């Protein structure tokens, strides 16, 4: 059954090419376009009339269309929101004071341990639906609020169930090395042992994760500890992503490049030394460590933004993600993130668009599947409710410009 989506005034994102540096300001698009879809995949993209090839024609009546957004960094599975910490911060409490009052990652961990798999799944399902309504059709979700063997596995099983329950593309990341549980505060290497010797073998055997991640940060996991987690993960066939350089120049970029990690995420604190390492990480086939920036965190915590403008000017292929989590970035909309990227980090709308589509797909090595509307890619696309939508997304902060979401060529019931 071949379905033709016709009457598209402008189709954005018609190239699978990862965008580096100045290329990020260009978005490939086709005017008066049609998309031919078969078995959930794009069979043809054209501005010619090919309605004779289709079994069914769906006329989109002059709407603009873009590929579904790719959110490459989220913590979507958590027990409950932490708005009380948000209010404490507004009233001037410091990170340490919030932690002392039982807040932070350990707060989420404690609550998650007491929440059942079904409850976690139900709560996360609502969030995933909300994300799809905002245009996200490919999503990475991390563990990391378990911090014990049982609770980490519980989280990853919830992510597995989300994969089976939603038609969108979901990838799971094992982030057992997110923080040190209280009982390991004085013996952090023992917790690293727990991650690599007790958690990893079970996770690998049950195939619960697609990648591994470490919070390589001042006061959290050292570069040596991060290297160890990543190296053992690699033995189990798990490619890595790193949380690094959020609170300080942490060595996270060095760990990521040394281990050929697929991405290093945060980068609020980095210099030309780190940009140069990242740039040199790319081989001639374009394999390298993608820099992922998370402006939601800077917005909520009132911290400096990652130097995305400088990194693009330096020639890097920047990615944007929500970092959706209950503590530092309760933002689930990549439309909002595009707006923050433009107003706070001086990215152009075109750069922000590429950073949440093809570049984001590349950071998950999924660029043949998602992030563009090209022959062979999944037919995951958004029908927009306005013209010039690419620029109006960052312009209309807080407005949802997505009218309809098609996943594998099938309209998702929003
Ligand atoms: Zn994160």
pLDDT at 53: 96
10-residue block means of pLDDT along the chain (414 residues)? 98 98 98 98 97 97 98 97 94 84 87 96 98 98 96 98 98 97 94 98 97 94 97 98 92 97 97 97 94 97 96 98 96 98 98 98 98 98 98 98 98 96
Distance 178 CA to ligand 1 centre (A): 9
Length of the chain, in residues: 414
Distance 234 CA to ligand 1 centre (A): 20
Q: Are residues 11 and 118 both part of a single domain?
A: no
Distance 23 CA to ligand 1 centre (A): 27
Residue 37 belongs to domain with CATH number: 2.30.40.10
In degrees, rounded to 5, the angle at the alpha carbon of residue 227 between the alpha carbons of residues 223 and 233 is: 145
Distance 73 CA to ligand 1 centre (A): 6
pLDDT at 106: 87
Distance 356 CA to ligand 1 centre (A): 16
Q: Are residues 50 and 85 both part of a single domain?
A: no
Structural domain span for residue 390: 2-67+372-411
Tell me which DSSP letter residue 308 carries: H
pLDDT at 319: 98
Report pLDDT digits (tens) over 303-323.
999 999 999 999 999 999 999
Q: Are residues 109 and 251 both part of a single domain?
A: yes
Distance 147 CA to ligand 1 centre (A): 15
Distance 71 CA to ligand 1 centre (A): 12
Regarding beta strands 169-177 and 136-142, do their DSSP bridges make them parallel or antiparallel, or are they unpaired?
parallel
Q: Are residues 76 and 60 both part of a single domain?
A: no
Tell me which DSSP letter residue 157 carries: H
Distance 164 CA to ligand 1 centre (A): 23
Residue with tokens 């290329």: 23
Average pLDDT across the chain, whole number:
96
Distance 346 CA to ligand 1 centre (A): 22
Determine the 3-state secondary structure of 322 from DSSP.
coil
Q: Are residues 29 and 114 both part of a single domain?
A: no
Q: Are residues 257 and 396 both part of a single domain?
A: no
Q: Are residues 90 and 51 both part of a single domain?
A: no
Tell me which DSSP letter residue 183 carries: G
In 13-89, the DSSP E strands lie at: 29-38, 41-46, 56-67, 69-71
Distance 24 CA to ligand 1 centre (A): 24
Regarding pTM above 0.75, the answer is yes
Distance 35 CA to ligand 1 centre (A): 35
Regarding beta strands 2-12 and 29-38, do their DSSP bridges make them parallel or antiparallel, or are they unpaired?
antiparallel
Type and span of the H or E element at 176? strand 169-177
What angle do the packed helices 334-345 and 349-356 form, to 10 degrees? 140
Q: Are residues 18 and 150 both part of a single domain?
A: no
What angle do the packed helices 149-165 and 105-113 form, to 10 degrees? 80
Q: Are residues 245 and 329 both part of a single domain?
A: yes
């Amino acid at each position: 059954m071949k379905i033709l989506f016709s009457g598209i005034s402008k189709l954005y994102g018609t190239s699978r090419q990862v965008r580096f540096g100045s290329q990020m300001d260009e978005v490939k698009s086709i005017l008066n376009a049609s998309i031919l879809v078969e078995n959930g995949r794009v069979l043809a993209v054209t501005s010619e009339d090919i309605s004779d090839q289709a079994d069914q024609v769906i006329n989109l009546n002059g709407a603009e269309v873009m590929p579904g957004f790719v959110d490459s960094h989220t913590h979507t599975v958590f027990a409950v929101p932490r708005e009380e910490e948000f209010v404490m911060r507004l009233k001037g409490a410091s990170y340490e004071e919030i932690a002392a009052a039982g807040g932070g990652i350990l707060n989420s961990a404690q609550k998650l341990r007491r929440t059942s798999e079904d409850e976690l799944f139900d709560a996360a399902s609502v969030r995933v639906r909300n994300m799809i309504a905002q245009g996200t059709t490919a999503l990475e979700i991390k563990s990391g609020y378990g911090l014990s063997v049982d609770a980490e596995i519980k989280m990853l099983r919830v992510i597995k169930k989300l994969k089976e329950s939603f038609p969108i593309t979901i990838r799971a990341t094992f982030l057992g090395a997110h923080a040190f549980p209280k009982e390991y505060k004085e013996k952090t290497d023992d917790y690293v042992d727990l991650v690599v010797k007790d958690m990893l073998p079970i996770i690998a055997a049950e195939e619960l994760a697609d990648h591994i991640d470490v919070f390589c940060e001042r006061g959290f996991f050292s570069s040596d500890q991060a290297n160890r987690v990543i190296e053992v993960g690699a033995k189990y066939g798990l490619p890595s992503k790193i949380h690094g350089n959020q609170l300080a120049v942490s060595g996270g970029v060095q760990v990521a490049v040394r281990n050929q990690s697929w991405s290093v995420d945060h980068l609020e604190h980095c210099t030309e030394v780190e940009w140069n390492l990242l740039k040199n990480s790319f081989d001639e086939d374009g394999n390298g460590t993608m820099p992922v920036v998370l402006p939601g965190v800077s917005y909520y915590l009132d911290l400096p933004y990652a130097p995305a403008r400088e990194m693009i000017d330096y020639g890097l292929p920047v990615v944007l993600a929500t970092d959706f989590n209950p503590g530092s970035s309760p933002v689930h909309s990549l439309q909002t993130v595009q707006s923050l990227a433009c107003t706070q980090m001086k990215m152009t709308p075109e750069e922000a668009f590429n950073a949440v589509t093809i570049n984001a797909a590349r950071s998950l090595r999924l660029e043949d599947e998602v992030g563009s509307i090209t022959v062979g890619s999944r037919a995951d696309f958004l029908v927009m409710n306005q013209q010039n939508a690419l620029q109006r997304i960052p312009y209309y902060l807080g407005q949802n410009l997505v009218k309809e979401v098609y996943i594998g060529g099938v309209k998702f019931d929003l």
